[in-house]
Amino acid sequence: PEIDGLQWCVAQVSSIAPLLLAQHVHERFTVVRDKAGKVAAEAAARSALNLSPDPLLLVLHVLLAFPKLDISFRVPREAATPSPHHQAQCLVHLDDMSMYLMQELNVVFDLVGIDISRVAAFCARTIVLDHHPEKTLNFIIARPAFFEPEIAALLVPALAELYAQGVTLVLRYIRASLTDARVAAVVPVHFTRLVEQWTDEYPAADMHTLINEFGLHDEFAHHVEAAAALSRRSSVRPRLVVHDPSVVYYSLPIDRDRVIFVDSDAAVEAAHAILLQSPVVAWDVEWRPDQMPVKSKCSIIQLACASHVFICDVVNHWTDAMQALVEAVVTASVPWKIGFGLVGDVHRLRYSFPDMSCFESLDDWENVVDIQTYLKSTSTKNQQRGTVGLSKCCQDILGFPLDKSQQISDWEARPLTEAQLVYAASDAYCLLDLVRELNPPEMRSMYM
């Protein structure tokens, strides 16, 4: 009798059967448009799986071999009764999974109940790397086991890192922890101390809110005293990063006249013509230091290609044409978008421009490489010590650190100073040099 394609895939050598089956299932399910066709496709898949001596294990291998199936191809609970070796297989391959897939497998295999420490470590990694930290946060908050003191200790460092970058929604976990006295006595203080450690890299990290909301005035008396002294001055400024004349910093490798401040329709038109013809565009944003409790909105957006850096004035010239330029760069498949800590940047952009749908989610961006995320996902050293900042990356990879002395200057002031313009241009352009040196696999054909 004629052998169904799905059944043939299952019958192949075990090492390649999962990928063959995954591709075949994907093709069948994506061409189905009617209910009867879907039922037939599901029946064919079930029939093929039943040929395997361990259908559920095969399903796991299929999902790992072809992650695109993690939404459309549900784990069939009727295929087999979960066994310890199925659960062990899930835990071994946990870091290869998306958050979506892990959630689905947890429903079937109770991974949280089997090894919550392993799942917590996965969540701590995923919440930093994922473009949608809300997914991981919702999963954690919905499960009381993640508020046990030893488990909280695994999660809090990642949450502090995101908060320092401006992703304030992670405070939902800290606030939820207050319902358990054992955790409430430890987590807010630990979280705030970790945020404090990030203030060298992110000087605008909001310590003020943490100290006030969680009543940490005694533990952070030095911050309270410094804030009181600053409030007596005419302007409130975060701690300055001082330029060190003995250090050789990264130098912008293009001519100064190729740095264009975009504050006119003509400049927008020029930027549009050049950037949309560029294979790679680096992306960065700057905003004035927050004056608590008010968050500042984005002041400039820097878009850098090999030949130019365009510094877009989104305070005084956020016109329809400039919005169209930004949206075109974000949504086009070409150019590639390169950033560093894009989750924090996009949260600030969403706050600044709530009507711009392209800032709703990084998932809507075409062809993106976040260098910070890439390094954290590929480097064991970075995974162990937390994410390295941009200046340190430039030092390690390019041989020169960034001069960050202008980072917390007033980016809403006009005109920007020469030092601000050079800093803004360098902050974006260095990403092009970094991605060229790192040569991530998805972009490798561009640098061959």
> What does the domain layout of the chain look like in residue ranges?
1-114, 147-239, 256-447
The whole-number pLDDT of residue 396 equals 95
* SS3 assignment, position 309: strand
The CA distance from 46 to 21, in Å, is: 12
The whole-number pLDDT of residue 132 equals 73
Give 311's strand partners. 261, 302
CATH of domain 256-447: 3.30.420.10
* SS3 assignment, position 244: coil
The whole-number pLDDT of residue 163 equals 92
What are the tens digits of pLDDT across the range 327-354? 999 999 889 999 999 988 998 999 899 8
Mean pLDDT of the region 85-114: 90
CB contact set of 439 (below 8 Å; sequence gap of 6+): 447
Q: Which residue has the higher pLDDT, 238 or 153?
A: 153
What are the tens digits of pLDDT across the range 146-168? 999 999 999 999 999 999 888 88
Q: Which residue has the higher pLDDT, 229 or 77?
A: 229
The whole-number pLDDT of residue 382 equals 45
Q: Which residue has the higher pLDDT, 262 or 288?
A: 262
- Tally of CB atoms within 10 A around 273: 10
Q: Is the pLDDT of residue 30 over 90?
A: no
Strand segments, DSSP code E, in 189-341 are 259-262, 280-287, 298-304, 309-313, 336-339
Reported pTM: 0.67
What are the tens digits of pLDDT across the range 183-194? 999 999 999 999
| pLDDT confidence bin for 270, thresholds 50/70/90 | very high
Q: Are 119 and 126 in contact (CB under 8 A)?
A: no
**C-alpha distances in angstroms, 236 versus 212, 228, 408, 409, 423?**
17, 10, 11, 11, 22
* SS3 assignment, position 231: helix
Length of the chain (residues): 448
The whole-number pLDDT of residue 59 equals 78
Q: Is the pLDDT of residue 409 over 50?
A: yes
